[in-house]
């Protein structure tokens, strides 16, 4: 029996709560809402790294960041890196890319058979340069929030072109099954939104989150490094927020164009690489383990799957096992994830090894508990997300709870050893560039 065609859509920086089907009172996502009604919406989905390249390499390889050395945005995948394209070739699939993948380096396919449109080159690192992880590092500006408003932007042009190319591909009938991956820039900053979509929203509707300084020293340093400690006016915060909403609505429109072009028996997966803090805890962008940064949307439409909502803890490493399952391949024991066609609730791991954090950060989400380990020299953070969804009350003074969660984290990896590996790799890459 011929396996089904598959469409996978990956956006950039879409936090889970900012969608109509997720219950947001203002964000308009009619096409994604329809997809959610047709399939399964997963409510507890987490990125395996709140950073673009590490997250994308992790989802493509179906492995954790530390397993593939995807430490930061400068990493260039090596020749042994295996993606969805490599895996599904075993089942006779043609695998195709349109748009954003954030693959660094000269190999623009990484196991896929065809690329229709490419990334914006200024987002790519062809040198392998690692980030500077020092206490004095600071982003040049806070333009990730201050550059906002209605207007034209190359990100919008990129996304429309990716949709156009994907639609051209879909119009061409094929005998072999295909995996079509479409990657979008939106709603990644800068928050410059197409005027027609910006006009959908009123800044007065924005409920401003608290921007009080976080007392945890790691978070305070992160805020300082990304210049999130620079005060913004209420007008700026409201405008930045509605522009973020507008970018999500433009993304939704592009996805609607794709959904209109594929038959109902096409398997569709929608998700994002990570979220966006959007001012929560006084932070814009991601790079931390609060819910807006690490919890992401995931929708799955499959002809044999009953529509509904799923509350299991899953993560992006589950996408590749799902694709293998859809293609009729047997489970790969080397992959830590599980197929989403038969999800299993289990602890989720996320990690961060880039600028803004001097030492590696590790998150374990297990049941209601979130445990954030920032190295032996720093106190951890612990939250009960079920009773404290805004993560305002750190429970790390509960020594027994910390010990239990720390043991659970270490059953997956040794965070201190992984931190050493990440820093060693980054130091070697820097030394190579210096020698060269």
- Distance CA(317)–CA(55), nearest Å, equals 9
Confidence (pLDDT) at 431: 95
Using DSSP's 3-state secondary structure scheme, residue 400 falls into helix
Structure-token match 């962008």, residue found? 285
| DSSP codes, 215-228 | -SHHHHHHHHHTTT
Shortest CA distance to 302 belongs to which of 62, 47, 67, 5? Answer: 5
- Distance CA(360)–CA(280), nearest Å, equals 22
pLDDT in tens, 342-383: 999 999 999 999 999 999 999 999 999 999 999 999 999 999
Confidence (pLDDT) at 176: 87
**In terms of DSSP H, where are the helices of 226-318?**
234-261, 291-294
Percent of the chain with pLDDT over 90: 94
What are the structural domains, with CATH classification, of the chain?
A: 6-345 (3.40.720.10)
Confidence (pLDDT) at 215: 79
Mean pLDDT, all residues of the chain = 96
Q: Does the pLDDT value for residue 1 go beyond 60?
A: yes
Count other C-beta atoms under 10 Å from residue 236's C-beta: 15
- Distance CA(224)–CA(60), nearest Å, equals 32
The secondary element (H helix, E strand) that includes residue 415 is: helix 415-435
Confidence (pLDDT) at 210: 75
Confidence (pLDDT) at 212: 58
Q: Does the pLDDT value for residue 236 go beyond 80?
A: yes
Q: Which two tokens stand for residue 242?
A: 């509605």
Rounding to the nearest 10 degrees, give the CA dihedral for residues 102, 108, 110, 111: 130
Q: Does the pLDDT value for residue 142 go beyond 80?
A: yes
DSSP label of 121? G
Instruction: Give φ, ψ of 15 to 5 degrees.
Output: -75, 150
Q: Does the pLDDT value for residue 403 go beyond 60?
A: yes
pLDDT in tens, 174-222: 878 999 999 999 999 999 999 999 999 999 999 998 755 567 999 999 9
Rounding to the nearest 10 degrees, give the CA dihedral for residues 344, 340, 391, 20: -140
Q: Would you place residue 128 in the very low, low, confident or very high pLDDT band (cuts 50, 70, 90)? A: very high
- Distance CA(298)–CA(10), nearest Å, equals 10
| DSSP codes, 57-104 | HHHHHTS-HHHHT--STT----TT---HHHHHHTTT-EEEEEE-----
75 burial type by CB count under 10 A (0-12 exposed, 13-18 middle, 19+ buried): buried
Confidence (pLDDT) at 92: 96
Whether residue 155 contacts residue 186, with contact meaning beta carbons closer than 8 Å, is answered with yes
Mean pLDDT value of segment 40-52? 98
Percent of the chain with pLDDT over 70: 99
Give me the count of residues in the chain. 436
Helices 30-38 and 234-261: crossing angle, nearest 10°? 50
Confidence (pLDDT) at 435: 84
Confidence (pLDDT) at 175: 77
């Amino acid at each position: 029996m011929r396996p089904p065609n598959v469409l996978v859509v990956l956006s950039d920086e879409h936090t889970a709560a900012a969608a109509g089907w997720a219950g947001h009172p203002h964000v308009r996502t009619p096409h994604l809402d329809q997809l959610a009604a047709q399939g399964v919406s997963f409510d507890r989905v987490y990125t395996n790294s709140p950073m673009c390249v590490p997250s994308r390499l992790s989802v493509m390889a179906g492995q954790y960041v530390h397993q593939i050395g995807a430490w930061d945005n400068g990493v260039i995948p090596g020749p042994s890196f295996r993606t969805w394209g490599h895996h599904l070739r075993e089942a006779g699939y043609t695998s195709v890319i349109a748009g954003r993948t954030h693959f660094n380096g000269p190999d623009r396919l990484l196991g896929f058979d065809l690329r229709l449109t490419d990334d914006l080159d200024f987002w790519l690192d062809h040198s392998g340069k690692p980030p500077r992880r020092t206490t004095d590092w600071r982003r040049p500006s806070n333009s990730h929030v201050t550059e906002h408003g209605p207007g034209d932007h190359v990100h919008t042009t990129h996304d429309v072109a990716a949709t156009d190319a994907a639609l051209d591909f879909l119009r061409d009938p094929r005998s072999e099954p295909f995996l079509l991956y479409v990657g979008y820039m939106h709603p990644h900053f800068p928050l410059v939104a197409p005027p027609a979509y910006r006009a959908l929203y009123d800044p007065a509707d924005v409920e401003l989150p608290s921007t009080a300084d976080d007392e945890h020293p790691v978070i305070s340093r992160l805020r300082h490094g990304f210049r999130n400690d620079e005060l913004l006016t209420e007008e700026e915060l409201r405008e930045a927020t509605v522009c973020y909403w507008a970018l999500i609505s433009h993304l939704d429109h592009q996805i609607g164009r794709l959904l209109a072009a594929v038959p109902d028996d096409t398997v569709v997966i929608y998700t994002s690489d990570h979220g966006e803090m959007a001012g929560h805890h006084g932070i814009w962008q991601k790079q931390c383990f609060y819910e807006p940064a690490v919890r992401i949307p995931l929708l799955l439409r499959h002809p044999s799957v009953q529509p509904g909502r799923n509350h299991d803890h899953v993560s992006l490493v589950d996408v590749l096992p799902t694709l293998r399952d859809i293609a009729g391949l047997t489970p790969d024991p080397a992959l830590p994830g599980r197929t989403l066609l038969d999800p299993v609730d289990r602890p989720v791991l996320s990690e961060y090894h880039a600028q803004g954090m001097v030492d590696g950060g590790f998150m374990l989400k297990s049941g209601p508990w979130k445990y954030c380990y920032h190295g032996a020299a720093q106190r951890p953070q612990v939250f009960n997300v079920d009773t404290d969804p805004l993560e305002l009350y750190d429970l790390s003074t509960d020594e027994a709870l910390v010990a239990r969660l720390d043991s659970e984290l270490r059953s997956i990896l040794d965070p201190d050893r992984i931190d050493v590996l990440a820093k060693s790799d980054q130091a070697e890459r820097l030394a190579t560039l210096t020698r060269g």
